[in-house]
Amino acid sequence: MKTALATVTISGTLREKFEAASKAGFQGVEIFENDLTQFDGTPKDARRMAQDLGLEIIALQPFRDMEGMPEPMRSQKASMLQHKIDVAHELGTNRLLFCSNVQPYSSPDRDVCAADLFALAEIAKKEGIMLGYEALAWGFHIKDYHDAWDLVKRVDHPNLGIILDTFHMFSRGNTLDVLRDEIPLNKIALVQVADAPSLQMDVLQYSRHFRCFPGQGDMPVVEFLQVLKDKGFDDYLSHEIFNDEFRSSSPLEKAIDGMRSLIWLDDQTVSKREEKTAPIQAPQVKDVEFLEFAIEGESGEALTNTLAQLGFEETHKHRSKNVSLMRQGNINLILNREPKSQAHEHFQKHGVSVCAMAFASDDVKATLSLAERYLVERFDNQAGPGELNIPAIRGIGDSLVYLVSADAAVRFFDVDFKPIQGIQGESGVGLTRFDHIGQTVTNTDFLSATFFYKSLFGFDIDASQDLPDIHGLVVSRTALSKDKRVRIPLNMTNARDASAQRFIQKSKGSGVHQIAFACDDIFAAAKNIDSEKQLPIPQNYYRDIEARFGLPSEMIKKLQSHNIMYDQNDEGEFFHFYTEEVHGVFFEVVQRVGDYSRYGEANAFVRLASQARQEKK
């Protein structure tokens, strides 16, 4: 498989786009005509620049409204094509791409359109150029790829082929039947792969703002590539992505995201030419082994005080570093005050914050190999003599993800830490494990963050949820391990003053903002929390759930006395309460009854409003 990137996908000048594509490992680029028009050099300069960076210019695009036009427009289109062919020669490319006509005055007669395209293909033939024809999802007469294929068949010219674009196909609900059964490889001019979330909206707006890389959305891009591989396809797969966040982000970061997505897409499929007999699967994550906080001196006192009220106490000290461990149940919280460490660097930039998490994996070596394949940066940890050298990779924002073996005979704290004398047990107030860990990310990192967990750890990604904040909407998607023991909600917002954006401003970047602990008796867990540490819930909320769920008044009083919130569905019941924010992070304690698997989203707007009120105090 060869990989390419359309220049419209990422931000920057033409040179910056070329450099980003080259550094990310792409072999080719499609030049979007606007990028060439605003370039301050000649097409030959662009060609030399691409060659110097090891890139092939695989196409110049797009050309619009080429077929079915009345005179004198028809003649003008033929003249324009000749000029653009001259530019293509200077660029060193032999492909020009057409979009189906969007003009209401264009001819619906396919024989007329076929005659126009045949005449254009004849011009291309004399110049050694291949023309590609694409059905725009909002084309006036040709909207679906099977109609574009019908037109290409009518033309029946060796210099005209069809462009297959997954966004235009799947946004129209097209199936793969025509591709599977009718279209031969030699008539495919180019393949462009894009994904998108499942949305119901005007298709033009959908196309211009919500496309994303394969695996970041909900379209059946894996099935699409498998059909191509079954046919023996081995030409370029190219990204053509229109996305506001992509074009306001670092071009290199998005180019790397794009390359990662194509590698992942290739891994999900097999072909007769490949040695692998099954798609590459990510090793399973079994649990969260620990969270690590970066603190210094007394800066973490408010944090440790809140954790103490949640039943945590320092149970272990590191053998050689200024690091301690708080434990309760199967929850491990590391407090890192070491001056020469990644945690110190994280503290310098973000203040008191979560600087790392650790996953218990069923195959650490395979996960590290997959991380390298997907261009995820390794972190070299500094371990002392006799200490565990726990491998780590760069995670979301500036954080790390450590990897420990789920089947290890000893835990990390049995080797690197010493128990503190006089500590009586680790039962606390009955908290048992991490239930979920929420991360807030910038809007430009949202798609790449969800794909990080999907590609590298095999997590499933829930459908997005809109959480109404008093200052705007917060969008949330949850990454879940296959057995749902590890849950990572990811939140972002475009609203300047909404909670997610306030966290970004306080913490100076993406990071963990919510840590939820599971328990078996939430009322017992809540007894130890001082009222000033709790997130206060308004009385109106309890009147509302009393009416909605028909809860007895005794239960309502019990919930209200501890600021405990409640939800239920067909699966079971959900009890949860929150602490105040500490350095932007807040804690949640949850009790799940039955098979309840959600997060009490119906209560989110009340929680968000209460947090906004607390911040103003």
Written as one string, the DSSP assignment of 529-565 is S-GGGB----HHHHHHHHHHH---HHHHHHHHHTT-E
Q: Running DSSP on this structure, what letter comes out for residue 212?
A: B
pLDDT at position 134: 97
By three-state DSSP, how is residue 216 classified?
coil
Q: What is the pLDDT of residues 50-76, one digit of tens each?
A: 999 999 999 999 999 999 999 999 999
Mean per-residue pLDDT of the chain: 94
pLDDT of res. 57: 98
Predicted local confidence at residue 424, as pLDDT: 59
Distance CA 106, CA 271 (A): 41
Give pLDDT, residue 425.
54
Distance, in Å, from the CA atom of 96 to the CA atom of 131, rounded to the nearest integer, reads 5
Query: Could you give the C-alpha distances from 556 to 240, 559, 561, 594, in angstroms and in order?
Result: 54, 5, 9, 20
CB atoms within 10 A of CB 524: 13
Q: What is the pLDDT of residue 532?
A: 84
Query: What does residue 11 show for φ and ψ, rounded to 5 degrees?
Result: -85, 170
240 known ligand binder: yes
pLDDT recorded at residue 435: 98
Q: How many C-beta atoms surround the C-beta of residue 553 within 10 A?
A: 9
Distance in Å from the first CA to the final CA of the chain:
58
* pLDDT of 350 higher than 80: yes
76 marked as part of a ligand binding site: no
Q: What CATH number does the domain located at 285-419 have?
A: 3.10.180.10
pLDDT band, residue 396 (cuts 50/70/90): very high
pLDDT of 306 > 60? The answer is yes
pLDDT tens-digit readout, 277-300: 789 999 999 999 999 999 998 888
The fold of the 2-267 domain, in CATH, is TIM Barrel (3.20.20)
User: Which of 148-157, 186-195, 205-214, 462-471 is predicted with the least confidence, judged by mean pLDDT?
Assistant: 205-214
CATH 3.10.180.10 range(s) for the chain read 285-419, 431-616
Percent of the chain with pLDDT over 70: 98
Could you tell me the pLDDT band of residue 245, with boundaries at 50, 70 and 90?
Answer: confident
Would the pTM of this model clear 0.75, i.e. be above it? yes
CATH T-level fold of 431-616: 2,3-Dihydroxybiphenyl 1,2-Dioxygenase; domain 1 (3.10.180)
Q: What angle do CA 79, 81, 86 make, to 5 degrees?
A: 105
Q: pLDDT digits over 546-578, tens only? A: 999 999 999 999 999 999 999 999 999 999 999
Q: Per-residue pLDDT tens for 116-163?
A: 999 999 999 999 999 999 999 999 999 999 999 999 999 999 999 999
Q: Phi and psi of 157, rounded to 5°? A: -125, 135
Q: What would the mean pLDDT of 512-524 be, rounded to a whole number?
A: 97
pLDDT score for 203: 82
Report pLDDT for 240. Answer: 94
Task: Average the pLDDT over 197-209 and give the result.
Answer: 78
| Residue limits of CATH 3.20.20.150 in the chain | 2-267
The answer to whether 165 is a known ligand-binding residue is yes
Q: What is the pLDDT of residue 198?
A: 82
192 annotated among ligand-binding-site residues: yes
